[in-house]
């Protein structure tokens, strides 16, 4: 994953879609659907929910909060989220990331897996600088076997330059 290039992404801003090539390509305000490394990214200026007060690794129903592990040696991103298993076939995942230091971009990724090993994901990415927070939520159908999360630092040329440890929630 490290050093791979994000070729393009599609961004919906002000009711229309624009396509940006060659990496993160600038500061998009609004919601973007970014396809990179098989990840679906949402780039947004958003007001985030407060940090969870506890972490949970339960697979039972109900909302479970978690804190994404920090990237060792870097203090540029703090990430957290929650998941809610809905019956046996759906899971709602919320991811938030806050940029806490100087970096071109930072974020966090949640990967959900089906019983067959197929995966889908969402990510919260920040391009606008320290102090800003981004949150995103999605409900996945038939991807309830495993949930893993990690934080990342992105470079100005559209690459992931560093990732944090992966936390397996279930």
Q: How far is CA 84 from CA 41, 71, 97, in A?
A: 20, 25, 19
pLDDT for res 62: 87
Q: Which CATH number belongs to the domain containing residue 41 in this structure?
A: 2.60.40
Domain presence at residue 155 = yes
What is the count of structural domains for the chain? 1
Higher pLDDT, 6 or 82: 82
Look at residue 40 and tell me whether its pLDDT is greater than 50: no
Domain presence at residue 101 = yes
Range of the domain at 132: 8-168
Domain presence at residue 82 = yes
Nearest-5° angle of CA 141, CA 143, CA 146? 150
Candidates 120, 2, 1, 25; CA nearest to 10 is 25
pLDDT band at 110 (very low <50, low <70, confident <90, very high): very high
Question: What is the mean predicted confidence (pLDDT) over 105-133?
Answer: 92
Domain presence at residue 19 = yes
Domain presence at residue 2 = no
Which residues, in sequence order, are CB contacts of 5 under 8 Å at separation 6+?
23, 157, 158, 159
pLDDT digits (tens, 9 = 90+) for 44-92: 333 334 444 344 444 567 899 999 999 999 999 999 999 999 998 999 9
Domain presence at residue 141 = yes
Give pTM, 2 decimals: 0.67
pLDDT for res 41: 41
Question: What is the mean predicted confidence (pLDDT) over 91-117?
Answer: 95
pLDDT band at 26 (very low <50, low <70, confident <90, very high): very low
Q: Return the number of other C-beta atoms located less than 10 Å from residue 115's C-beta.
A: 10
Domain presence at residue 107 = yes
Look at residue 162 and tell me whether its pLDDT is greater than 90: yes
Domain presence at residue 148 = yes
pLDDT band at 98 (very low <50, low <70, confident <90, very high): very high
Higher pLDDT, 7 or 146: 146
pLDDT for res 157: 86
Least reliable range by pLDDT among 28-32, 47-51, 96-100: 28-32
């Amino acid at each position: 994953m490290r050093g791979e290039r994000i070729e393009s992404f599609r961004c919906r801003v002000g009711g229309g879609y624009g396509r940006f090539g060659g990496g993160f390509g600038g500061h998009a305000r609004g919601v973007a659907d970014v396809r990179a490394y098989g990840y679906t990214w949402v780039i947004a200026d958003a007001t985030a929910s407060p940090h969870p007060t506890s972490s949970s690794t339960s697979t039972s129903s109900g909302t479970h909060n978690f804190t994404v592990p920090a990237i060792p040696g870097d203090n540029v991103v703090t990430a957290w989220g929650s998941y809610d298993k809905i019956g046996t076939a759906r899971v709602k995942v919320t991811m938030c990331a806050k940029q806490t230091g100087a970096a071109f971009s930072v974020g966090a990724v949640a990967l959900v897996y089906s019983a067959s090993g197929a995966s889908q994901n969402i990510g919260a990415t920040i391009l606008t600088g320290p102090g800003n927070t981004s949150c995103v939520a999605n409900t996945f159908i038939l991807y309830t076997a495993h949930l893993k999360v990690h934080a990342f630092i992105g470079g100005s040329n559209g690459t992931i330059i560093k990732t944090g440890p992966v936390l397996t929630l279930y």
